[in-house]
Chains A and B, each alone.
Chain A
Amino acid sequence: MKYIDEFRQRDLAEMVAGAIAREAQTGRDYHLMEFCGGHTHAIFRYGVQDLMPANVHFVHGPGCPVCVLPVRRLDDAVELAERYQVILCTYGDMMRVPGTKQRSLIRAKADGADIRMVYSTQDALRIARQNPDRQVVFFAIGFETTTPPTAVALVQARREGLSNFSVFCNHVLTPAAIQNILQSPEVRDLGTVRIDGFLGPSHVSSVIGSEPYEFFAEEFQKPVVIAGFEPLDVMQSTLMLIRQVNEGRHEVENEYTRVVSREGNTKAQALVGDVFELRESFEWRGLGSVPYSALRIRADFAEFDAEKRFQLSEKASREVKSCECPAILRGVKKPTDCKLFGTVCTPDNPMGSCMVSSEGACAAYWTYGRFRNQTTADAYQEDVVA
C-alpha cells in the first residue's frame, strides 16, 4: 500500500540502523520516551529495539487513550448503559477494559445492556436517528485525533435537532500529559526515569501541529521529534533525536512532514474550539489528576452533554490491586515487573487496560514476546510462549 510499504522497507531500515549504530556514542545512554502507544506498538511489532545499539533505550509513555482512562469513568459508562438503559455506543477498544470488580462493557452487554460497537461517530448518529424513542450516548474517548470527529457529531446533532443523542466526553490532551511527566517526581527529583528526548505523537500532531511542543522542548530542554507510526519513521526519528542529544540541541523537529505541519489542521482545531472547552483538571490513570488536561462540552452544547443529561452516581471505583498499569504508564515499571503479567493477566483475560489495547505496553510485550529475551522472564512465561 502506498505510504505504508515504502516506510517498512527492510534495506532502508538497515541503512538507518547502520547510521544509528555509528552515531550513537559509546559511553553514553540514550533514553527516548515514545509518548504514543502507536509507537510502542510499532517498536514491538517490527522489532525496532533489536535494530538498535545496546545504549539506545525506548521508554514507553502513557499515550494510549484506552489505558489512561480511569476506572471511574468506565464505571460511569456501564452505569449509563445499565441504570439509564441507554444505547451506549463505543469504539471497539473499550469493550474489554475491566472496570471495578472486573466489570467491562462486554460483560454488561452479555448481561443485557444495549452496548454497540461503532467505527465512527457517524454510526452513533445513525443509531440515534433510527431509535428516536431511545436515549443514545456516544462514549467519547481519545486524544486530539478522535476529538474532531466527536465535535463534528455534536454540531450535526444540534443542526438536526437530534434530541435523543448525547456524548459522554472523556477527551484528553497530549501536551498537558507530556508536561506532567516531565514535572513528575520520578523524572525531576528521583531521577528514576531518565528521558533524553521524545518521539512526538504522529496523528495527534496532524491535528494540533508541531508548535505546541515548542514550549516544553525549550522549558525542559528536551528534544522532540514528531515521528510517523511506520517502523522506518520511528528509526529515522530516533536518529534525529540521537543527533540532537549529541549536539546538545533541544528543538522540535518533524520527521512526519508528509502529514504534520507546524500549525496542524486549523479547520479541525476551530471546530474543536467551538464545541469543547478545557476542564480545570482531569483524572488520568497512572498520572493522577492533571490540570487542564482534558476537554468538556461547552454550555452551548449542554443539551448534548451526557454528564448533564444523566445524574451519574458517586461510586467507589477500584482497579485490580496488583495491576501495575499506573506505574507502567509513567515509564517507571515494565510489564514484566507485574506479578500478574502472563499468568493471571493475558489479552484473553485482561486485568488492566494496558493488556487490552493493542497500543498498551502489556499487550505489546505479550503479543510480540519481548519478555522472552528478558532475564526477568521466568520459566513459566517461557512455557506459555513456546
Chain B
Amino acid sequence: MCLALPARVVSLEADDLATVALEGVRKKISLALVDDVAVGDYVLVHVGYALHKVSEEEAERTLSMMAEAGVLAEELAEIKGAEA
C-alpha cells in the first residue's frame, strides 16, 4: 500500500501529466503534487502520482555513509584485534 518506486521522467504532458519509465515499462502518472520536475528527473511514484523528487546527491551521500560505517567498523576491528 505504501510502496512507491523511483521512476525516471521521460516526457512531460499537458494537465500535469507525465510519462515515466519504471522497470522497463512506461506509465502515465500525475505531477499534480510536485513542482519543477524536468525530463530526466527521478520521482517517487505512488498510486499513479509523483510524491517527491529523488535527490541524486543525497542518494550518493547516503551510500557513502554506509560504506564509511563499514570502513570504520573494519578499522575498529583492527584496533581491537591489535589490542588483543
Contacts and interface: CB of A to CB of B under 8 A. Distances in A.
Interface of A: 1-4, 6-7, 12, 14-16, 18-19, 21-23, 36-38, 63-66, 91, 93, 119-123, 141-143, 145-146, 148-149, 152, 201-204, 206-207, 228-229, 232-233, 235-236, 239, 255-260, 265, 267-268, 271, 357, 359
B3 A38 contact: yes
Given A3-B59, A145-B4, A258-B55, A120 B33 contact: no
Contact of B55 (A142, A146, A257, A268): A257
12 contacts: A19-B70, A19-B73, A38-B2, A91-B1, A119-B47, A120-B29, A120-B30, A120-B47, A121-B48, A142-B1, A203-B46, A258-B55
B1 A6 contact: no
A257 B61 contact: yes
A16 B51 contact: no
A271 B47 contact: no
B20 to A, nearest CB: 12
B66 A259 contact: no
Contact of A204 (B2, B32, B74): B2
Nearest to A357: B1
A350 to B, nearest CB: 15
B15 to A, nearest CB: 10
- A-B pairs with the 8 shortest C-beta distances? A15-B70, A120-B48, A19-B73, A3-B6, A258-B58, A19-B69, A257-B58, A258-B59
A18 B66 contact: no
Interface of B: 1-6, 8, 23, 29-30, 32-35, 42, 44, 46-49, 51-56, 58-59, 61-63, 65-67, 69-74, 76-77
B2 A15 contact: no
Contact of A152 (B33, B53, B59): B33
B33 A267 contact: yes
A257 B72 CA distance: 22
A109 to B, nearest CB: 20
B84 to A, nearest CB: 14
Given A16-B66, A206-B52, A146 B59 contact: no
Contact of B69 (A4, A228, A236, A259): A236
Contact of A207 (B51, B67, B72): B51
A115 B64 CA distance: 47
Contact of B2 (A1, A23, A36, A119): A36
B69 to A, nearest CB: 4
Contacts of B33: 148-149, 152, 265, 267-268, 271
Contacts of A202: 2
A99 B70 CA distance: 48
A359 B73 contact: no
Nearest to B48: A120
Nearest to B23: A1
Contacts of B23: 1
A239 to B, nearest CB: 6
Nearest to A146: B47
Contacts of B67: 12, 15
Contacts of A235: 66
Contacts of B47: 91, 119-121, 145-146, 149
Nearest to B65: A236
Contacts of B73: 15, 18-19, 21-23
A149 B33 CA distance: 8
A291 B65 CA distance: 39
A114 to B, nearest CB: 21
Contacts of A359: 1-3
A22 B71 CA distance: 12
A6 B48 contact: no
